[in-house]
Structure 1
């Protein structure tokens, strides 16, 4: 590694010399050859993966399955291939387990109880707990499956609604570990206030006085945005108001005044890394620059997270946080102990980071070198040794990563270069109009009922419906034929369907027990009558 860095440093000096232009041409030609070779490797890898996908999503077999009158399948419908779904969960768990990390499933990216439970069961113990969008979503999953998820539910976003906090407090007294997200002292004070009001209410006062109450667990959301010039400018989502040490001290001051809350976790989601594709054909920024910037951003994320957690250690020096302690607390805090306001105000049991997009982040020297040559600066070479997945997994401060979209592998996640997951779901639309090619246009069009579903976020070509569909031979389709389309995002497509159709072995329907009956349809949250998002 030292030799590589030294060599690049010398190359940078040459670029600044009088022979810079001549040598630059030579180096760029070499770089072009390396890029071509690297691109061939990517295409070879992608071709192997897509061969597996073509086997699982054979159009003619799917068409026969959907149009078979015995199956009574009505389109639009959502179809999930369980073989690929299982492969994806094993791939994600394999990476986490390789480095001794646990995986927390993000239910927002699935929104189908059966699939959440299946993924958890297929993880062989690597999955420990869920990350839910809503307290009432966590309550539903607990009521449906009991202890199946280790009674461990991290609520991904702060909530200040009285009903949410009261529900979390009630579940906590049943030894269910509901972990509310906070990012400031104001959040803590509001949660404490609602808990105290709930305890003091007439119907709960006697019961509370007769028992020792469990505190509501909290997780502190850290801001991981990339700070430039001391915070004058920043890149990334401002997810939290906790950005530096003084914010930690302010939060700790509020925590000290409370009797019914306990901080047990920290989350630092690197939205500008895990949530930004690095090989998106609809982006105007070259892929090599995006990937290099991601590695630079990751270095600051790691250092920032370490600094803020060390600040927490200095504030509460009496709580354990070392390798042995983390091993003892591998179940993230569902080993409850009853305390009569004698529990430690902070008992850090997990540090959450990452996402599907970050799990596959790898070090790629070539992309970084391309940016350095483009910038022609000697200083840039010093940024070559950057953080990556292996470095984050070896970081003693990170105990778990979160993933969910990779199980479904929606369209957008194809645009992560190192993502090894395969498409596990699609939705079917029926062809309602066919337009043949004309003498002016060598391509025809087919129109489909409903036109598809738009994805949330900024309106861009990778999130818009693509119908009418352009095709060279539209007469290949008959009116009423199904076409199969992937959603841009993994979870929100479930808001359009009451049930998912399960299949395996290419196009065989997969039957599961549903209310003492066997069915290949499993309900989504919408199908169960719930809207959490």
Structure 2
């Protein structure tokens, strides 16, 4: 961010939150809406199912779903899906991960409206066994989506991507579909394949051109292989069941996944808030919409300030890119010896010279939804005003894991 632009945003956010005490978190509504429009344009007419784990705030989920081009939620837990359906946020919630939550399964089985709205994920007959064990052999019909492994395996023993579903081939998908269809109390309604090695890896990492070129090479070949394999799986499954949806993609791959004719809908969530892990993509550049402010509480040296709190690392591999980044004022950085601390975070750089005790430093988180686990509310900012205060899941006393 250029210094002039950074100064302008800092002045706006400081003014908007002047009456509030940090630590606090904001969402810039104009940036959120601009990001949503960018996602819609990149989806090329395919509906986008909003990934709720990247938002974790009912008000923002409603805001996204109210826009053209967005439809339904991709939830990360069954309990969360039941909460969002019960709150009237959506009548179409796919749970993106298999569940072992027996209490939530019983709640699902006992609620006709929830069973019509919620689809659970399976990639193993053992998950169907667990549902039957929790609900009994004569349980009501539960909607089921199969997950297809979307990783790339260019050679024996080589696995590029995340470790999710064991279902990879049309034969394996048909075998699992047969298990679903032959068992009473299950209905096969969808297929999902998340190509994390494409959607979740930036292909234009600053300062690492060789790595970026290698990633682009991998992603082109991986997408070509997956498109052919996914189409074959969809064709095979449609001989057995009338699939309502085929879900694919993520924030980082919308335009590429939209080219796959077998996919009927896309998924995205992180692109709405623009965390730092999505800064390194050639195809798009989300605006930073979610930020958090920490107060300066110490000045250990001329070019050093210490802020209160800050230990908000993102999940995943424990690399520096998982740490929060100080962005306003421009010219600050974490130290290599302390990083983002549990109760204090030292920052170094020339910008520290002008900061005083009580001033605030604005940070961006590495991931989108995990910021909501740290703050009970988001202050929605429009220009230089807070226009609304909305609870996160945590602020609404919910923790879905």
For residues 125 and 175 of structure 2, what CA distance do their matches in structure 1 show?
7
Contact 1:274 1:354 survives alignment (8 Å): yes
1:355 has 2:233 as partner: no
Query: Quick one: structure 1 residues 85 and 298, their matched pair in 2 at CA, closer, same or farther if it must change by over 3 Å?
Result: same
For residues 282 and 433 of structure 1, what CA distance do their matches in structure 2 show?
33
Paired residue for 2:84, among 114, 127, 141?
Answer: 141
CA drift at 1:234: 2.0
* Residues 242-257 of structure 1 mapped to structure 2, 5 A cutoff: 242-257=167-182
Query: Quick one: structure 1 residues 60 and 114, their matched pair in 2 at CA, closer, same or farther if it must change by over 3 Å?
Result: same
Instruction: Look up the match of 1:66.
Output: 17
Question: What is the aligned-residue RMSD (CA, Å)?
Answer: 2.3
Deviation per CA, 1:379-433: give whole Å up to 9, x if none. Answer: xxxxxxxxxx2xx424331001100000000111011122232111100000111
Deviation per CA, 1:366-391: give whole Å up to 9, x if none. Answer: xxxxxxxxxxxxxxxxxxxxxxx2xx
Instruction: Look up the match of 2:131.
Output: 191
Paired residue for 2:287, among 392, 413, 422?
Answer: 422
* Residues 35-46 of structure 1 mapped to structure 2, 5 A cutoff: none
Which has the larger strand fraction?
2
Give SS of 2:183's match: coil
CA drift at 1:86: 0.9
Give SS of 2:72's match: strand
Contact 1:195 1:260 survives alignment (8 Å): no
1:118 has 2:63 as partner: yes
Q: TM-score, normalised by structure 1?
A: 0.68
* Residues 238-317 of structure 1 mapped to structure 2, 5 A cutoff: 238-281=163-206, 286-314=211-239, 316=240
Give SS of 2:136's match: helix
Deviation per CA, 1:474-515: give whole Å up to 9, x if none. Answer: 23111010110111100011111001111102x1111xxxxx
Deviation per CA, 1:284-319: give whole Å up to 9, x if none. Answer: 9521221122111111111111122222234x1xxx
Contact 2:177 2:188 survives alignment (8 Å): no
For residues 447 and 196 of structure 1, what CA distance do their matches in structure 2 show?
57
For residues 411 and 188 of structure 1, what CA distance do their matches in structure 2 show?
38
Contact 2:170 2:233 survives alignment (8 Å): yes
CA drift at 1:173: 5.1
CA drift at 1:175: 5.7
Give SS of 1:176's match: helix
Give SS of 2:21's match: coil
Contact 1:78 1:501 survives alignment (8 Å): yes
1:396 has 2:257 as partner: no
Paired residue for 1:222, among 128, 138, 148?
Answer: 148
Query: Quick one: structure 1 residues 252 and 143, their matched pair in 2 at CA, closer, same or farther if it must change by over 3 Å?
Result: closer
Paired residue for 1:92, among 20, 33, 39?
Answer: 39
Give SS of 1:428's match: strand
For residues 413 and 225 of structure 1, what CA distance do their matches in structure 2 show?
20
Structure 1, unmatched stretches of 5+, are: 1-45, 200-212, 317-345, 361-388, 438-443, 511-519
For residues 415 and 152 of structure 1, what CA distance do their matches in structure 2 show?
32
Q: TM-score, normalised by structure 2?
A: 0.89
Contact 2:258 2:266 survives alignment (8 Å): no
1:459 has 2:329 as partner: no
* Residues 24-43 of structure 1 mapped to structure 2, 5 A cutoff: none
Query: Quick one: structure 1 residues 166 and 282, their matched pair in 2 at CA, closer, same or farther if it must change by over 3 Å?
Result: farther
Deviation per CA, 1:136-181: give whole Å up to 9, x if none. Answer: 212222222x2x52x1000010012221222222334556321000
* Residues 447-486 of structure 1 mapped to structure 2, 5 A cutoff: 447-465=306-324, 466=334, 467-486=345-364
For residues 503 and 394 of structure 1, what CA distance do their matches in structure 2 show?
36
For residues 405 and 83 of structure 1, what CA distance do their matches in structure 2 show?
16
- State how many pairs are aligned: 382
For residues 266 and 393 of structure 1, what CA distance do their matches in structure 2 show?
15
Give SS of 2:222's match: helix
User: Which is higher, the Rg of structure 1 or of structure 2?
Assistant: 1
For residues 286 and 111 of structure 2, what CA distance do their matches in structure 1 show?
35
1:411 has 2:276 as partner: yes
Query: Quick one: structure 1 residues 189 and 285, their matched pair in 2 at CA, closer, same or farther if it must change by over 3 Å?
Result: farther
Structure 2, unmatched stretches of 5+, are: 325-333, 335-344
For residues 234 and 288 of structure 1, what CA distance do their matches in structure 2 show?
19
Which has the larger helix fraction?
1
Instruction: Look up the match of 1:79.
Output: 26
For residues 306 and 377 of structure 2, what CA distance do their matches in structure 1 show?
24
For residues 376 and 279 of structure 2, what CA distance do their matches in structure 1 show?
26
For residues 64 and 114 of structure 2, what CA distance do their matches in structure 1 show?
25
Give SS of 1:235's match: coil
Instruction: Look up the match of 1:26.
Output: none
